[in-house]
């Protein structure tokens, strides 16, 4: 499909100052010629314009001018896709952008599939597969740390290490296969030992990368923190303080929160998705019962619990039920209303960390943020850690590569036939290659790029 020309709106739909329509493919300049009328008698058409130049004019469609635009020309291979690329900046707004896109489609382009521009960049050698995934991570980043991690991966920091790993495995494979081709010459003991050492170093390297999977997933998808507690303990007030603005309705009337409320906040560089839940109590109100049901669903998906307690009141049976119900989850006890005389005594057996706060005065909110960060990410977040944080797909491929490499080491130690060692080593090299796209299938590529937004 690389012989056709694609087009899509590359900016979010909706009202705004500008919108960008992107074209890529061998006929991108010819398509632009059909729908773009440059201003000025001597102004060049896109097909004759110099690369990396900007041109003012109008988009025409069905015999009428659609919009005044600026058109950028980028000739292959000096573009994101390494194809001819045209980017048209028009007025923002849903109708204007769609009208310009329809003009491009009527002039010979077809509508791009999700992620197809980045897919073409990969297929044309502009990016490897890990870098292509980083484009999506960059778009979806919700904190500066997530943005930095995506930037490091886009720059090729992870790819460099994976390519080195695969090259080492391939060199070892070539060595083993050379001895298979000449069966009369067995591998000398010292050579066999060197091969085993090299493979064990590769296993150690893969294990180091695998240890970054959890942190990588935290930065990419965030941590879900459910705020629970009996009605009127201060759950909604706590959510508002953590977000820094009034998101939830706060009222002295019990049961004000009828539905779950989800908002994402940057907590010490980590994206945390806070879920304010309805009080988990029996109710005759149908709406409140539905809110409680949704709260239970949100709690099942939560990575950790913020258990809010009213420190100005004694422990109740409802509080004790919460302690028992969430004993198996990571939890922070949030002792609210510390501006009032304390009457709360915590159960002696509780092991969860406790933070004292006052949602009226913000007392203890910063300490709570520190406790949240330490609970999910112990220690300092260093810049070098951000360079090689793998995602779930990388994790699966590395686990398969590690297992096959360990099997290879076992085959060499036990003097098994070299064909077995070569087979396992080939599996390991192919699995490592999947990460950067050196070995990939159409199904894998479709699965990855279908998650991209249209126009990227």
Q: What is the CATH number of the domain that holds 435?
A: 1.20.120.430
pLDDT band at residue 16 using 50, 70 and 90 as cut-offs: confident
Instruction: Say if CB 339 and CB 363 are below 8 A apart.
Output: yes
Let me know if residue 125 belongs to a domain.
Answer: no
* Same domain? 201 vs 227: no
Within a 10 A sphere around the Cβ of 342, how many other Cβ atoms? 12
Q: What is the pLDDT of residue 47?
A: 96
Comparison of pLDDT for 322 and 81, the residue scoring more: 81
Last residue of a domain, one of 335, 355, 376: 376
Residue 367 CA from chain centroid, whole number? 28
What is the C-alpha to C-alpha distance for residues 276 and 295, in angstroms, rounded to an integer?
8
Distances (CA, A) of 394 to 331, 357, 402, 423: 30, 40, 12, 21
* Same domain? 206 vs 242: no
Let me know if residue 23 belongs to a domain.
Answer: yes
Region 327-338: mean pLDDT is: 89
* Same domain? 363 vs 227: yes
Selection from 408, 394, 226 nearest residue 326 by Cα: 226
357-391: burial string, b at 16+ Cβ within 10 Å, e else:
bbbeeeebbeebbebbbebbbeeebeeebbbbbbb
User: CA dihedral defined by 114, 47, 92, 453, rounded to 10 degrees?
Assistant: 10
Q: What is the pLDDT of residue 258?
A: 46
* Same domain? 197 vs 247: no
Digit-coded pLDDT (tens) for 42-66: 899 999 999 999 999 999 998 899 9
> For residue 234, what is the domain's CATH number?
3.40.50.300
Does the pLDDT of residue 249 top 80, yes or no? no
- The size of the chain, in residues, is 456
Let me know if residue 122 belongs to a domain.
Answer: no
* Same domain? 238 vs 365: yes
* Same domain? 298 vs 368: yes
Does the pLDDT of residue 250 top 50, yes or no? no
Digit-coded pLDDT (tens) for 359-374: 888 899 999 999 998 8
Last residue of a domain, one of 48, 82, 112: 112
State percent of the chain over pLDDT 90: 50
Let me know if residue 250 belongs to a domain.
Answer: yes
* Same domain? 242 vs 369: yes
* Same domain? 288 vs 365: yes
Let me know if residue 278 belongs to a domain.
Answer: yes
pLDDT band at residue 287 using 50, 70 and 90 as cut-offs: low
Comparison of pLDDT for 182 and 174, the residue scoring more: 174
* Same domain? 102 vs 167: no
Region 18-32: mean pLDDT is: 96
Does the pLDDT of residue 289 top 70, yes or no? no
The domain total for the chain is 3
* Same domain? 253 vs 334: yes
Does the pLDDT of residue 291 top 70, yes or no? no
Q: Is the peptide bond before 77 cis (omega within 30 degrees of 0)?
A: yes
Q: What is the pLDDT of residue 259?
A: 55
Q: What is the pLDDT of residue 251?
A: 43
Let me know if residue 382 belongs to a domain.
Answer: no
* Cβ-based neighbours of 60, under 8 Å, separated by 6 or more: 35, 36, 37, 66, 103
Instruction: Say if CB 176 and CB 195 are below 8 A apart.
Output: yes
What is the C-alpha to C-alpha distance for residues 385 and 403, in angstroms, rounded to an integer?
24
Terminal C-alpha separation, the chain: 17
Region 74-87: mean pLDDT is: 96
Average pLDDT, the chain: 87
> For residue 70, what is the domain's CATH number?
3.30.1360.120
Region 79-91: mean pLDDT is: 96
Let me know if residue 121 belongs to a domain.
Answer: no
- Domain containing 50 equals 6-112
- Specify the long-range contacts of residues 173-181, CB closer than 8 Å, at least 24 apart: 173/422, 173/425, 173/426, 173/429, 176/418, 176/421, 176/422, 176/425, 177/418, 177/422, 179/418, 180/418, 180/419, 180/422
* Same domain? 309 vs 239: yes
Least confident of 12-16, 291-295, 352-356, 441-445: 291-295
* Same domain? 226 vs 361: yes
**Residue 385 has what DSSP assignment?**
G
Comparison of pLDDT for 344 and 105, the residue scoring more: 105
Let me know if residue 117 belongs to a domain.
Answer: no
Q: What is the pLDDT of residue 366?
A: 94
Does the pLDDT of residue 34 top 90, yes or no? yes
């Amino acid at each position: 499909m690389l012989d056709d020309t694609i087009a899509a709106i590359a900016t979010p739909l909706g009202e705004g100052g500008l919108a960008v329509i992107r074209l890529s493919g061998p006929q991108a300049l010819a398509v632009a010629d059909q729908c773009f009328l440059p201003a000025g008698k001597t102004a060049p058409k896109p097909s004759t314009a110099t690369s990396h130049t900007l041109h003012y004019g109008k988009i025409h469609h069905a015999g009428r001018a659609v919009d005044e635009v600026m058109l950028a020309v980028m000739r292959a291979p000096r573009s994101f896709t390494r194809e001819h690329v045209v980017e048209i900046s028009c007025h923002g707004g849903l109708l204007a952008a769609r009208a310009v896109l329809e003009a491009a489609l009527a002039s010979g382009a077809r509508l791009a599939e999700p992620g197809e521009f980045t897919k073409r960049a990969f297929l044309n050698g502009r990016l490897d597969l890990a870098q292509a995934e980083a484009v999506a991570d960059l778009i979806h980043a919700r904190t500066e740390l997530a943005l930095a991690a995506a930037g490091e991966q886009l720059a090729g920091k992870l790819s460099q290490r994976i390519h080195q790993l695969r090259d080492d495995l391939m060199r070892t494979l070539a060595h083993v296969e050379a001895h298979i081709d000449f069966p009369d010459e067995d591998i000398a003991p010292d050579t066999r030992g060197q091969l085993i050492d090299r493979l064990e170093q590769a296993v150690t390297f893969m294990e180091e990368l695998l240890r970054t999977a959890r942190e990588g997933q935290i930065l990419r998808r965030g941590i879900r923190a459910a705020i629970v507690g009996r009605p009127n303990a201060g759950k909604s007030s706590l959510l508002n303080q953590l977000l820094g603005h009034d998101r939830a309705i706060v009222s002295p009337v019990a049961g004000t929160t009828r539905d779950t409320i989800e908002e994402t906040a940057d907590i010490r560089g980590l994206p945390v998705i806070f879920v304010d839940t309805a009080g988990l109590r029996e109710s005759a109100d149908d709406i409140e019962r539905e809110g409680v049901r949704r709260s239970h669903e949100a709690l099942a998906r939560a990575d950790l619990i913020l258990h809010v307690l009213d420190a100005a009141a004694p422990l109740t049976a409802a509080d004790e039920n919460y302690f028992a119900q969430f004993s198996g989850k990571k939890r922070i006890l949030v002792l609210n209303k510390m501006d009032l005389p304390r009457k709360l005594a915590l159960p002696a057996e509780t092991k969860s960390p406790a933070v004292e706060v006052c949602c009226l005065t913000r007392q203890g909110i910063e300490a709570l943020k520190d406790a949240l960060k330490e609970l999910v990410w112990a220690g300092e977040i260093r810049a070098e850690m951000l360079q090689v944080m793998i995602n779930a797909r990388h994790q699966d491929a590395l686990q398969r590569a590690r297992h096959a490499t360990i099997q290879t080491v076992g085959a060499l130690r036990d003097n098994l036939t070299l064909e077995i060692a070569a087979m396992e080593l080939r599996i390991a090299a192919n699995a490592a290659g999947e990460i950067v796209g050196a070995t990939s299938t159409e199904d894998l590529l479709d699965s990855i790029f279908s998650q991209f937004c249209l126009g990227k």
